[in-house]
């Protein structure tokens, strides 16, 4: 039996309650992409859940409308929650849609890497370092046994807010911005470490685990967060003379031809931020990988709002 797993950052789907006017164009642009993926497991990032009215419950109404009339509407659905709450966050939730039954699911948010207080150089008050979003994970009843899926959206490389260095939305000094940018990098790497430690626990229980990490890592293939997740000490390629090579994750994008190996275009630079990382047992079953980046708009040069997404989805097929 063959199956496919895909990841797609749908970019603020359902931005706010009053966003109804722009929604039909977004759905018309996104739905054909989802159908083209033909995924059995679909990991989505940036799915918003605005309230119904000022005090209503948060709900994925735009996602529901997007999935209407597609196979995905009948899939099992798992979604992240705002840490400390039983409801989704207002923006940037994670969603896993699965044709396969869900055996277990949950989320990580400073479960393995504690939050910390950081004292910026030259300042008197520490700031609390907290991840923007949780990590969503699921164990699915796949066609040949358990299939572990992690859905990630790591922090973007934009400076974290520092109250002492930012006023009315503007940085007061280049030094302040540099300290905020440093903190953002630490948060992105720390959350990648939390995911890697969780993966280690799966390998402890299942040495031949079939596991896939999906999502927007806000990091290219050889940047620190991606390397942390892959767990490879050198170049990140599976194999080699290493006692723990059986726990390395393969960057499945490496199977895509170089000219197509990007999911975002930023000011003319083609970068791969959206990844599929597979355990050795699953990588051996991979028969093909695609990144659907035809006609992808440049996020820094777009003259108007893009109806679809400025991220290209990626899909891996297995047998």
Is the model more confident about 246 or about 67? 67
Cβ burial of 306 (10 Å; 0-12, 13-18, 19+) is middle
**Where is mean pLDDT largest: 47-56, 168-177, 273-282?**
273-282
Instruction: Tell me the C-alpha distance between 111 and 229, whole Å.
Output: 16
Q: For the chain, which domains are there?
A: 3-318 (3.60.10.10)
Q: What is the mean pLDDT of residues 212-237?
A: 89
123-133 in b/e form (b: 16+ CB < 10 A) is: eeeebebebbb
Question: Could you give phi then psi for residue 99, rounded to 5 degrees?
Answer: -70, -30
Q: What's the confidence (pLDDT) of residue 303?
A: 67
Joined together, the tokens standing for residue 296 give 């992808």
Least confident window among 70-74, 218-222, 237-241, 312-316: 237-241
pLDDT band at 241 (very low <50, low <70, confident <90, very high): low
pLDDT of residue 236: 44
Are the C-beta atoms of 157 and 187 separated by less than 8 Å? no
| Interatomic CA distance for residues 160 and 309, integer angstroms | 24
pLDDT of residue 316: 98
Which of 110, 59, 105, 61 lies closest to 83, judged by CA? 110
- In this predicted model, what pLDDT tens digit does every residue of 94-147 receive, in sequence order? 999 999 999 999 999 999 999 999 999 999 999 999 999 999 999 999 998 999
**Which pLDDT value is given to residue 194?**
98
pLDDT tens figures, 295-304: 999 988 876 6
Mean pLDDT, the chain, integer? 93
- pLDDT at position 232: 86
Higher pLDDT, residue 260 or 167: 260
């Amino acid at each position: 039996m063959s199956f496919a797993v895909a990841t797609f950052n749908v970019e603020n789907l359902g931005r706010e309650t009053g966003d109804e006017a722009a929604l039909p164009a977004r759905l018309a642009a996104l739905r054909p992409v989802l159908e083209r993926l033909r995924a059995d497991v679909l990991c989505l990032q940036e799915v918003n859940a605005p309230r119904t009215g000022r005090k209503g419950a948060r709900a994925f109404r735009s996602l529901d409308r997007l999935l209407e009339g597609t196979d995905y509407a009948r899939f099992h659905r798992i979604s992240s929650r705002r840490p400390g709450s039983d409801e989704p966050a207002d923006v940037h939730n994670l969603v896993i849609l699965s044709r396969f039954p869900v055996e277990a699911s949950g989320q990580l948010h400073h479960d393995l890497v504690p939050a910390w207080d950081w004292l910026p150089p030259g300042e008197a008050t520490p700031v609390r370092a907290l991840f923007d979003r949780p990590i969503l994970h699921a164990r699915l009843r796949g066609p040949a046994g358990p299939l572990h899926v992690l859905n990630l959206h790591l922090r973007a490389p934009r400076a974290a807010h520092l109250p002492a260095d930012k006023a009315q939305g503007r940085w007061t000094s280049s030094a302040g911005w540099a300290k905020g940018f440093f903190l953002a990098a630490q948060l992105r790497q720390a959350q990648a470490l939390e995911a890697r430690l969780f993966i280690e626990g799966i390998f402890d229980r299942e040495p031949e685990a079939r596991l896939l990490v999906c999502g927007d890592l806000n990091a290219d293939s050889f940047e620190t967060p991606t390397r942390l997740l892959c767990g490879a000490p050198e170049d990140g390629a599976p194999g080699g003379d290493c006692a723990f090579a059986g726990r390395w994750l393969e960057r499945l994008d490496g199977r895509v031809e170089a000219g197509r190996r990007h999911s975002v275009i930023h000011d003319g630079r083609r970068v791969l931020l959206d990844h599929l990382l597979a355990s050795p047992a699953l990588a051996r079953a991979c028969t093909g990988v695609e990144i659907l980046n035809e006609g992808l708009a440049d996020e820094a040069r777009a003259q108007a709002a893009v109806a679809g997404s400025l991220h290209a989805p990626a899909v891996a097929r297995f047998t």
